[in-house]
Every structure is written in C-alpha cells, then in structure tokens.
A and B are shown apart, each in its own frame.
Chain A
Amino acid sequence: MNFLNPQHFPIFAIMLYFLGAFLIVLFGKNRAARNCIAFLATGLALTLMILLVKPIMIDGGIIAYWMGSRVPAGGYAIGIALEVDALGLFFGLLIATAVFVSCLYSFSYMSEDDNEPQYYTLFLMLCGGVMGLVLSGDLFNMFIMVEILTFAAVALTAFRNRVTGALEAAFKYLVVGCIGSTCILAGTIILYQQAHTLNLAQLATIIPLCKGTNVSIAFALLFIGFCTKAFIVPFHPLAADAHGAAPAPVSVLISGVLTKSGIYGIIRLAYFLFQTMNLGTMQFWLVFLGSVSMFVCVTMALAQHDFKRLLAFHSISQIGYVLTAIGLATALGASAGLYHAMNHTLFKGLLFLTAGAVLHETGTTDLGKLGGLSKKMPHTTVLFLIGAASISGIPPFNGFASKWLIYQAAYEKAAETGNIGFAFVTIVALVTSTLTLASFVKVTQSVFFGQLPKECENAKEVSFGMRFAMGILAVLCTVTGLFPNLVQTYLTGPAAKTLFHVTRYINAMLGEGYAESAMGASAPEAATRTIEIVGVWNPVNWLALLMIALLAICIVAIASKYDAVRENKSEKVEAKYSLFYGGEDTVFSQVGGGDLFWGFKHNWRHYFSFMHDLHSGIVNDYSLWAVIALALAMVYALIVL
C-alpha cells in the first residue's frame, strides 16, 4: 500500500481531524502538545487538500475510494465509499483553509478560557464532520457526518456557557438542528427503500428513473434537512443566535464551514441525486428561497445592535446569493455561486475574527457601547475594513467579483428565458448589496470610528497570532478579488463543470459505461456548457489605474504641503483641536448603533416591527417554522417532481 498515492488523501484528511480530536483527549492537558496536535492535524489536512488540486481540478480526475477495497460486485455498490470530484474538493479546500486559519486564531484567542482541551476536541470533531460530509460518497455516511457536526457545533455554541444566551442558542440550535437531521435520515431511508442502495452514484442512476410520491417526499425531507444546515430562511434565527454566543473561531466555522456543508448537500441533492435542475419549477424554488434569504437577512442585520449577531444575519444573506446563483442552473451561475461561496468563507471568517478581536479587547460586542477603536487597534481596523469592503462588494475585493458574476448570471438567465422575474432577482441582489454596505458603515462608525467611550480606553492591539490569522484571510480576500480569471480557471470552473457532468460522477464510481447502460436513453447528456460573460471587468487594470491616479494626486498633494497639518501635540487639548459643538465644550456624544439610518428605517418601520415580533426567540416558533417549511416543501415537491 503506497501511502503517497493521492487515492488515499481524502480519507487521510478526514482521519487527521478525528485522530487529532482523540489525541487531544489523551494528551491535551499539556498546552504545547495540544496546540501542536491541533496545528498538525489542520495543517496536514490543508496540505493534503492542496495536493489534490493537481489531479482533480487541473487533470479533471475523480477519486473513488472504496473502504477496505470493497469494490462494487455485479454492478452493485456494497461497501462504503468516498468520492471526491472537483465539487467535493472545492468545498474541501474551503473547509480546510477556514479550519486552519481559525485554529491559528484559537491558539491565542482561547488561551484564557478554561477547558481548552475539550474545545480543541470539539473543534476538530466539527472539522472532521464537515470534511467527511463533503468527501463522502454515501448518503448514510453523510447523515452520520451531519449528526457529528451538529453535535460539535451545538456543544461549541454552548462552550462559553456563562455568556448571555449561549445555552439558549445551543438549545434552539439543537432542537431545530435535530428536526433537520431527522429529516435527512427519513429522506435517506425512503430513498433506500426505493433504490436499495445508499451509494450516491448508484442512487443518482436509479432515483431519476423512479418518479413518484415517495421520491418527491424524500426530496423534500432531504432538502429541508440540508436547509437547516445552511440556515436558509426560515432557519436563519438559529444562525444569528449561535453566532452571537459562540467564540469567534467557532463562528468562523459555523458561518464559513457549516453553512457550506448545507449548500454542498443541496447541490448534491438537486444536481446529482435527483437531477432536477433542468426543471424550471426547481430553479424557481432555489432562486426564490435564495432571494428571500438575502433580502430578509440583510434587513434583519440592519436592525441589529450586536456586532456578531449582525454579522450572522449577513452570513445568511450572502448564502442567499450563493443559493440564488446555484439555482439559476447555468454554467455561469454555478461558477459564480461557488465563487461567492468561497468568498463568503474568506470575508465572513475575517469579519468574525475581527469581531472576536474586539470582544477580546473590550469584553463586549454591543454596538451601542463601542466606538473609536481605530486609534487603539489600527491593524484590526484595516483588516475589518478589508472584510467589510469585500462583503459589500467594493472593487477590487473578492466580494465584488463574485457578486458581479451573479448579477450577470441572473440577468442573462432573465434574457434567456424572457422571464422578468429573474430581472427582479438581479435588482434584489443589487439592492441587497447596497444594504450590506449600509450596515457595514454602521459597524464601522459604531465600533472603529466615532468617539472612544471610557470603558474601552484600555483596549490595545490584539496579539500577533490573531492578527496573523486575520491577515491570511485578508490577503486571500484581496488576491481572489484581483485574479477572478485564475480562480475561475482553477477552482470554480472545474467545480461548476462537474454539476453538468453527472454521468462522469456515476461512471467514476461504478465503472465506465455504467450510467449509460443502467439509465438507457434517460442518461443525462454531458452538457457542453460554456461560461459567457456579457460585461467587462478587469480588476488588475483598474487597480493599476487607481494606483497611478492616487499616486499622482498624492504627489500633487504633498508638493502643495497637503500633509503640513496642525496637530495637538501637548497633553492638554486646545479648543482648536476639540470637536465642533456649535461653540460649546466638547462632550462625549457617540452617534452609532441604532441611531444610524433613521431615514431608511422610518420608511420601513412597519416591516421592521413586524420582523422584530416575528423573531420571537421562542424555540416552539422556530420549530413551527421548520414544520411549515417541511410541509410546504413536500407539497411543492409532490406537485412539481
């Protein structure tokens, strides 16, 4: 057995996380050993994922790995399999990166908590669960991994159980998460009854052929199950609660990794298992859910006054973009959606880490109590601004590149189908983006700029370890924004292509020609879709121009003594340098938090108060939403499938 064969890498990556978790239980008492194990496990897993880029992304291979070499006999998959195609690897890479950075950050961030060994154990269990989910080739294994990651996420949410709301959030998440997991299990078993197999590839061969009530219900169950993992509306309050309470590195995992597992599940389900994405009704379903998610969550975010809770709602809003783009079922849409999924992991991770840094230094994330931190934490401020610019889609950062592609995809789809509904989706997406910018202006003003309250005067810049972790994400945000073509060619392009080559996926697992012979005429065509872009955008050229212009202006400015400024040098503040209060003495008066954007909120006051009442915080209400969503999904699936 040659261990350096790429065939073995996926299972090694999963095992590394779980092995690390168990080793930390054994040797975690010692701080150095604990950090070393966590670092090695996450770092090696990331390395393995990167090594797989060449054979899978560039050469276009698919790794089908049968545990214990139990290869299919007689055309029937018996063993448990891992199957890694470009899509799985794409998500694997995202996960490994987010996990690695979050682990680096944890070393300094969590160092003052007690029970640190348990933290790393749960942390690695969560990572292993998600990694196992995206690399698995077996539906029941996916369910097991979903359960593992749900447990780990719940436990991590409640980890700082003295924080207000941590237990509450964990309990709500557990209840609704369990409804979701049970849905997945029920859906899995109904599919088993239909197809007598749990292997994804084989299911993908059999399920599209047997339409019927059972299959439709199974689809609805699985879909809702994965929706709870991705926190699509109506499951978004759980995300907000969990993020608000969890430690920052865990928020990174929940938003960057856990939601991705839900999105991955939905893609596998809709594109591969059921192959329903060519149905207009199915596209409508996903696009509708995505648009509603992005709009509802961004407005909810505008109404928040807690830093992390606000970020959490944004997280779901951005997931709405991903779902919308995936639901368009065009090559450009899929590619744009995956691109945005990647960017979401990067900028959301960065933002949560900066929120964690603020919490670490000031002990609060309440926007009304913070302010003026830019003088105390200049690096964190810059990193936050990069993250905020990325998520609001300010060129040249990565959020802009992917959102730009999503608008194109949506509007192209509108023109292609002649359906004005997709044009409205484009408009919603564009307006949502500006609303995102607005709420980040709010955070910028309330946390980093404005006046410094007395309570925050002891804040100082966070440790190098934390800044380093944030720096990695900030650099990645910039690089992926500056070179969208490279990202398209090497990452999202191959991954998006696999969505339209289901037969390749099946054949890689069960042998060449299997799909064609088993499915006969209904075998899905290997769609020859190309990515057509109607607009033009070249971030590097633009940035070069901006730099030239900025440089020229700076030279002129400096030559004309622009920087010859008068500053307050002495300890005592002179009247000239204090803020203007209409001639009176300076008083502390910070405008931030809920005071901003009154003009907008006033016009929407009925909507906001309605939404506020709707998100009652009672777990029964959220479960009721889940049940209603399930019922609606079932009815819709029965009608359209």
Chain B
Amino acid sequence: MILDALKTLIYVLIFPGFLFCFLTGLLLAGIDRKLVARMQKRVGPPILQPFYDFFKLCGKQTIVPAAANKTVFLVAPLLGLAALVVLQLFIPVFQFQIPAFANVADLIVILYLLLIPAVSIILGGASTGSPYAGIGLSREMVTVLACELPLVLVLLSVGRSVGVAIGAKEGITFSLSTIVRYQLESGSLICKASLIPAAIAFLLVIPGETGNHPFDAAEAETEICEGMLAEYSGAPLGVYKLSHAIKMLTMTSLFVMLFFGGIGTGIGNLVALIGLTGGAAAAVTMLLDVLVLFVLCVIVTAVGISFVHAVTARLKIEQIFKYYWTVVSALALLSLVLVWYGL
C-alpha cells in the first residue's frame, strides 16, 4: 500500500511527471528557439535559455493588479500546469505505461483535458480585468475552437482504424494504451495510407494547439502585449511559460504515440539481441524508449513548429479559424472517410 503510494508519487513527481516534463519541455522549447533562429540565419539564444528565463522570472517580484481577483490570478497558472502534468502521465512511452493509470483516460478524455490548461490561462487573464487580456482570451478561445474540429476528426479516425484492425467487438476503440499496444505489435499507424492525411492534419494542429507562431494571435506581443499575460509578472508568468513548453511536449509526444507508436518494438528487439535480460533489459529499453521519444519529439517540433514558425508571418484570428476549419479539417475528414470505408 505504502509502496504503491510511493510509486505513484514518484510517477507524478519525477517520471513521467513533473520533473521529466519540466526538463524535456523546457529543453524542447530551447531547441525550438535555436532551430528557428538558425533557419532565419540568426545565432539564437543558447539551448538552455528557457531554463534561465524560468529561474529569472521566479526571482522577480509578482505584482497583483488592483483590479484583479487575487486568488484566481495566482491559482490559475498552477492549475493549468498541474492539469498538463497529469495529462502527460496518461500518454504512454511506447511499452511503458504506468499500470495504475492505464484505465483512467482515453482519446476523448485527452481531448477534454487539453482544454483545461487553455481554460485556466483564460481564467487567469480574465481575472485581471485588462482589456488586452479580454481580446487575448477571445482569440485564445477561437483558436481552441478552430483546432477542435480537426483534432476530433483525427482522433475518431485513429479510433476507428485501430478498432477495426484489432477486431474489437464494437469496431472502435478510444483507449490510448490499446492503440499504442496495437502499434507495437503490428507497426506504426503512419504506415497506413488512409491515416497519412490525418497525421498531416495533426501535425498542422500542433502549433495551433500550443499557440505557437503563426497561430499566436492570442498572445501577439507586438499587437496586444501578450494578451492574457499582459498583467502577469514574476513566478506566475514563469509558470505560464513552463506550461507552454510542456504543452509542446504533450502535443508532440501525443503525435508520436498516435502515429509512430510502433518504433518502440524495434528497440525492445535490439535490447534482446545484445543479450540483456530481466530488469536490466527493461531498464535499458525504457531508457532507450525515452531517448527515442525525445528525439522524435524534437523532429516533430522541428517540422511542425519551428519550420512553420520560421517561414510564415502571424495570421489574423479569423484566418486561423478559417484555415483550420477548411484545409486541415478537410484533410482529417478525408482520412475519416477513407478509414470508414476500409480503404
């Protein structure tokens, strides 16, 4: 009992919970900044810059505006961060899924849990009463709405595709662990022709969902002074920056697990090949899995976030909405129809 509790605590706090999210998330953000800079022929900040930023912000004064609701102002960032960390716990790392959490969440739940960080930042911004925050939250909500439709279509396509493939009685599955397990046995979903449009659509959704350039109308620094963050300073601002970095990790690792979940098998075989067995094998596999996951996340970030960032200018909010509900949704819909009719 106590051992279980301790284990859970370790999961939540260290791996794949808080500490892991903290390190990889900020590292990912640093790599992203460096990549964008290199693509734009700039030198760019050091890769560890997000860490420096975070710790610097933590040392700064926090000023609560006179008009703000103090409790909401301070709690909202923490709630968003906690929700993201918990969300990260549900996303398996290839073979590794925390056994106790395997039956806690599925695709639809993840879809909804992704809303909580957005809602908490909206609440935090709204509580300040700043008009910049008002405009920002309006745009943030529209961005969330815009991403919702393609994301739903992608997740339903994946659920149907795997449900049919594993011969589930209902013909669908929403369980993320089932989807990953299926990929470990019979190869990644990206290899299915019918799911390629869905994968592309998901890749396009990632920057919108994380609020990265060019879909960052909600935070447009030059225009509405970071929108919801306009009144934030010090540690709460740092927490928001951290949440943003972790969200990048969450979205990219979700993408990897949905479409490249089969890669983990190869590593398992590799470990068996060099003659490791038992606990050592498990540990090495696990370590390699995490490494592979991180490398894949970096690649997805480079393609999905950094590249798009480097080559585009910021879109207007109505353009973001239109783009997601037409181009990206059409791609995802194509996938759903293909999957549905078994092509």
Interface residues of A (CB under 8 A from B): 371-372, 374-375, 378, 381, 385, 389, 393-395, 400, 404, 407-408, 411-412, 414-416, 420, 423, 426-427, 430-431, 434-435, 437-438, 441, 444-445, 449-452, 532, 534-538, 541-542, 545-546, 548-550, 552-554, 557, 560-568, 573, 576-582, 589-592, 595-600, 602-603
Contact = CB atoms under 8 A, between A and B. Distances in A.
B64 A598 contact: no
A414 B18 CA distance: 39
Contacts of B65: 577-579
Nearest to A581: B131
Given A560-B235, A580-B130, A445 B225 contact: no
Nearest to B152: A430
Contacts of A548: 8-9, 12
B66 A578 contact: yes
Interface in B77-132: 78-79, 81-83, 85-86, 89, 100-109, 111-113, 115-116, 119, 122-123, 126-132
Interface stretch (B68-76, B251-259, B278-286, B302-310): B68-76
A79 to B, nearest CB: 46
A156 B165 CA distance: 57
A449 B18 contact: no
A567 B64 contact: yes
B261 interface: no
A420 B340 contact: yes
Contact of A415 (B61, B138, B171, B325): B171
Q: Nearest 5 CB-CB pairs, A to B?
A: A591-B134, A599-B317, A415-B171, A535-B174, A535-B106
Given A395-B113, A416-B170, A589-B131, A536 B337 contact: no
A545 B12 contact: yes
Contacts of A553: 18, 78, 81-82, 85
Given A548-B9, A592-B134, A394 B116 contact: yes
A566 B152 contact: no
Interface of B: 8-9, 12-13, 17-18, 58, 61-67, 69-72, 74, 78-79, 81-83, 85-86, 89, 100-109, 111-113, 115-116, 119, 122-123, 126-135, 137-139, 141-142, 144-145, 148-149, 152-153, 156, 159-160, 163, 168-175, 217, 225, 230-231, 234-236, 239, 316-318, 320-322, 325, 336-337, 340
Which has the most chain B C-beta neighbours within 10 Å: A400, A564, A599?
Answer: A599
Nearest to B159: A411
A346 B149 CA distance: 28
B236 A597 contact: no
Nearest to A441: B141
A592 B134 CA distance: 7
8 contacts: A372-B129, A431-B152, A450-B129, A536-B104, A541-B101, A591-B134, A596-B137, A597-B138
A566 B61 CA distance: 7
B232 to A, nearest CB: 10
A600 B8 CA distance: 42
A415 B131 CA distance: 47
A407 B170 CA distance: 13
B130 A416 contact: no
A149 B49 CA distance: 67
A602 B321 CA distance: 10
A213 to B, nearest CB: 38
B340 A445 contact: no
Contacts of A597: 138, 141-142
Given A548-B9, A579-B231, A535 B86 contact: no
Contact of A416 (B83, B135, B149, B171): B171
B112 A400 contact: yes
B111 to A, nearest CB: 7
Given A550-B82, A577-B66, A578-B66, A434 B145 contact: yes
Given A535-B108, A552-B12, A562-B236, A600 B321 contact: yes
A427 B104 contact: no
A564 B74 CA distance: 11
B135 A549 contact: no
Contacts of A449: 69, 72, 123, 126-127, 129
A450 to B, nearest CB: 5
Contacts of A562: 62, 74, 235-236
Contacts of B103: 536, 538
A293 B60 CA distance: 51
Contacts of A389: 119
Nearest to A560: B58
A626 B63 CA distance: 57
